[in-house]
Each structure stands twice: as structure tokens, then as C-alpha cells.
Amino acid sequence: MSLDEPEFRAIQRRSVALLSTGQVLGGLGLGAGLSLGAIIAASLSGSPAWSGMAATMSTLGAAAAAIPLARLARGRGRRVALTVGALVAALGAVLTIVSVVVASFVLLLVGLAMLGSGAAVGLQSRFAATDLAGDRHRARDLSIVVWATSIGAVVGPNLVGPGELLGSSIGLPPLAGSFVFTVVAQIAAAVVYVVGLRPDPLLTRQTLDAAPAGPSSQAPVLGRPRYATYGIAATAISHAVMVSVMSMTPVHLSSHGASITIIGLVISLHIAGMFALSPVFGSLADRIGRIQVILIGQGIFVAALATVALGAESEQGAVVGLILLGLGWSASTVAGSALVAESVGADRRAVIQGRSDLAMNSAGALGGALAGPVLVLFGYSGLAVVASVLVAVVLGLTARLYNGARPLPA
């Protein structure tokens, strides 16, 4: 049996469509809620110094959920794992609403950590898109699900205003209203997963790979942990580069007198760079190779960091630099994730992918945490220079892979 048979192509198309729908719903919920997390954290704690804990707890929650959800997917399939993850995120949104009502900062942190499960679902969804993908379209299918995230990321924050009106109309504090959208969106995503992902793509792939004439041999680097390790490292380090510079850009622009409108525009353009062209990078990775596109991503990072370093005192420099930063992240993440997805057999794929998500979230959290002190010590330009060291690490790992194993996979 082959993944190129019409039956499996139809299942794959349906799975990608359903996963993309879930990504849109999940992005709407998280975008509407987490955009207020820092404000609520500062309000409940009584100090702006604690505002950063909103993003930190969400990131740590996503990291903590990565491995359990991956193990659940391995044993029970993507359908169950994604559904459970979305419901945990919905419960986190409920706890966040309660924390605002009772004015509990500790309960807020717990709720935001559980909300991080929704981000973990989004990361696992991109891998789920590869379970039944053929070799020629694996990266493309993954990138389509990544692209779907952009819809929620852009629309979600615009639900803050309606959320305040909704909160007031049902007797909730205005800041809690947006999290009602989060609850509804995450529950809707769970329904999409539990009802729609039949047959389960991962369980179907595991059955096929276990068959005597299964399609395992189609994967060019199947069973090559060396490439999986490289893909995990490249994805995680690239995420750290992006988060470290992106997270400090609003602080830098604000200190130079930029308005909230300008700061919001810069971040919106950055998000567009992250997701809008992901299908382009996915198709390119299918055509010229995963590692080659990772190198393209690192090249874009070099251009982004050079622009940030040289144009640190201008808003235009920040805009161009952040757009390029998003594009570099997109190329590296799409190609790196595709490489991880095809480098291990279906029996271990979910667990390895969970480790990749754990590494990615942990690297992002560490990059964001260290970026603040680096900004204080060396300035915005210095932060870009330090981030370029991470790019050099990826290039060094690539050179080591080239020297240690030839030929490289496509």
C-alpha cells in the first residue's frame, strides 16, 4: 500500500483542512485572551514588574504540555491528544476568568499556564499534517497548517474591544470578557478534532508502517536520528533568535518615543512575516531540500539582525528588521519541522516531535528571559549582535552535518 493511493490522499486532504480549521479557532481564542494577559498580571499583582509573567507562564505551559500530549498521541492518536489539549486550554481560560473575578494573581498564573496547552496543540497540529503526507508534499502540507495560525493571530487581538463589551453585559469585569471568546473557540476546536479527525492520521500511519509492504521506505531519511536531532536544534535555536529580538522591540521602540499604534503595526507586520509566506517556504523545502531552506532562513536572519543593528535608532529599521526576522523564522521552522517529521518511524514520531516542541518552547522562554538583561547591558544593536551568535551555531551544526553524513536528504 502507498500513501499516493487516492484513498490516503483524500484522508490527508481532509486532515489538513480540519487541522487548519482547528488552528484558526485556537488562534482566535489565544489571540483574544493572551493579548490582555500582561495587563491583567500587572493589575492583579500590583506591579508592572510582574506583567512579563503572562507570556512566561503561557510558554512554560506549552513546554510542559508538549511531552504528555505527544505520548497521548502515540498511544491514542492525534484526535484524542489534540482534543485533550484544546479542552485543557479552555479550562485554563475559565480559571483566568475566575482569577480576575476573585482578584487572585496565583490563580491567574495557573490559568495562563493551562492556556499554554493551546499553543502546544498548535505545534502538534503542524506535525499531524505530515502523518499521511507523501514525500513530495510533506513540507507544503505542514506549512499550510502553520499558515492557518496567521488568521487567528491577526483577528484575535481585535476581539479585545468586543470582549470588554461582552464581559460587561454578562456581569464580568471588562478584562475578563475576551477570555469568554477563548473558552468558546477552544471548545469549538476540540469538537473539530474529536468529530473530524476520523480516521486518525497518526494511527493510520502506524498501521501502514507496521504492514509488510508499508510506505516507510518512501521517507528518504526515515530512522536517521542524526537528522532529527539537527532539525530539533535548528528549529529551537531559530525560535530563540526570533523571540529574543521580537520581545524586546516594543520596549526599545517605546523608549524612543514610538506610539502604541506604531508598535502594534511593527508587531503585526512581524507576525505576517512569520506566517504569511510559510506555504512558499514549505513548497520550496519540498523542491530543493529541508536543510537548504533552513540555510535560507539563517541567511534571512543575518539580514534581519544586520538591519536591526544598523537601523536601531529608526522605526523604519525596526519594521524591516522585524519583517525579515519573521521570514527567517518561517523558513527555518517549516523546513526544520518537516525534517524532524520524516526522520523517525511512526512508532516514535509523536514522542520525538513532542521533544522538538519542548525544546522550541524552552528555547523561546530562555531567549525571552535573557533578552532583557542583554538589552540593558548592550542596547538594541547589541542584542542583535548577540542573537547573531545563535545563527552562527546553526550554521556550525549544518557544517558538521554535511561533514558527517553525505549525501544530505532533500
pLDDT tens-digit series, residues 286-320: 999 999 999 999 999 999 999 999 988 888 888 89
Q: Taking each helix axis as running N to C, give the angle between helix 6-34 and helix 78-102, from 0 to 180 degrees, rounded to the nearest 10.
A: 10
144-148 mean pLDDT: 91
User: What is the value of pTM for the model shown?
Assistant: 0.81
Among 110-114, 253-257, 345-349, 392-396, the range scoring the smallest mean pLDDT is 345-349
Q: How many residues does the chain have?
A: 410
Measured CA to CA in angstroms, residue 45 lies from 91, 195, 262, 301 at distances of 22, 40, 28, 37
Q: Which domains does the chain have, with CATH numbers?
A: 1-217 (1.20.1250.20), 219-410 (1.20.1250.20)
Q: What are phi and psi of 131, to 5 degrees?
A: -60, -40
User: In the prediction, which pLDDT does 32 show?
Assistant: 59
Indicate the SS3 state at residue 109.
helix
pLDDT per residue over 166-179, tens digit each?
888 888 887 788 88
Between CA 152 and CA 72 the distance in angstroms is 26
CA terminus-to-terminus distance, the chain: 23
Residue with cell 483574544: 32
User: Which cell numbers hold the place of 77?
Assistant: 492518536
CA atoms within 13 A on the CB side of 94: 9
265-288 mean pLDDT: 88
Q: Quick check: bond before 215 cis, omega within 30?
A: no
Q: Do 342 and 219 form a contact (C-beta atoms < 8 A)?
A: yes
153-174 mean pLDDT: 77
Q: Do 53 and 41 form a contact (C-beta atoms < 8 A)?
A: yes
**pLDDT band with cut points at 50, 70 and 90 for residue 48:** low
Residue with cell 489538513: 16
391 CB-near residues (< 8 Å, 6+ apart): 241, 298, 301, 302, 305
**pLDDT of 407 higher than 50:** no
What sign does the CA torsion over 386, 390, 391, 395 have?
positive
What sign does the CA torsion over 293, 346, 197, 7 have?
positive
Q: Do 32 and 151 form a contact (C-beta atoms < 8 A)?
A: no
Among 9-18, 64-73, 90-99, 247-256, the range scoring the smallest mean pLDDT is 247-256
> Which amino acid would we find at residue 71?
R
Q: What are phi and psi of 407, to 5 degrees?
A: -80, 160
Please give the residue that has the higher pLDDT: either 61 or 369. Answer: 61
User: Which cell numbers hold the place of 146?
Assistant: 502553520
Closest CA to 309 of 205, 389, 364, 235: 389
Between CA 140 and CA 283 the distance in angstroms is 5
**pLDDT of 10 higher than 60:** yes
Q: DSSP string of 3-67? A: TTSHHHHHHHHHHHHHHHHHHHHHHHHHHHHHTTHHHHHHHHHTSGGGTTHHHHHHHHHHHHHHH
**pLDDT of 216 higher than 80:** no
The pLDDT > 90 percentage for the chain reads 48
Between CA 305 and CA 26 the distance in angstroms is 31
Q: Do 290 and 336 form a contact (C-beta atoms < 8 A)?
A: yes
Look over the chain and give the mean of its residue pLDDT values, rounded to a whole number.
Answer: 86
Between CA 186 and CA 167 the distance in angstroms is 18
When mean pLDDT is compared over 124-133, 244-253, 262-271, the highest value belongs to 124-133
User: In the prediction, which pLDDT does 149 show?
Assistant: 80
Burial profile 2-12: b = 16 or more Cβ within 10 angstroms, e = fewer: ebeeeebbebb
Distance of CA 37 to the CA centre of its chain: 18
Q: Do 353 and 127 form a contact (C-beta atoms < 8 A)?
A: yes
User: In the prediction, which pLDDT does 145 show?
Assistant: 92
User: In the prediction, which pLDDT does 69 show?
Assistant: 95
User: In the prediction, which pLDDT does 249 show?
Assistant: 83
User: In the prediction, which pLDDT does 230 show?
Assistant: 96
Residue with cell 551555531: 393
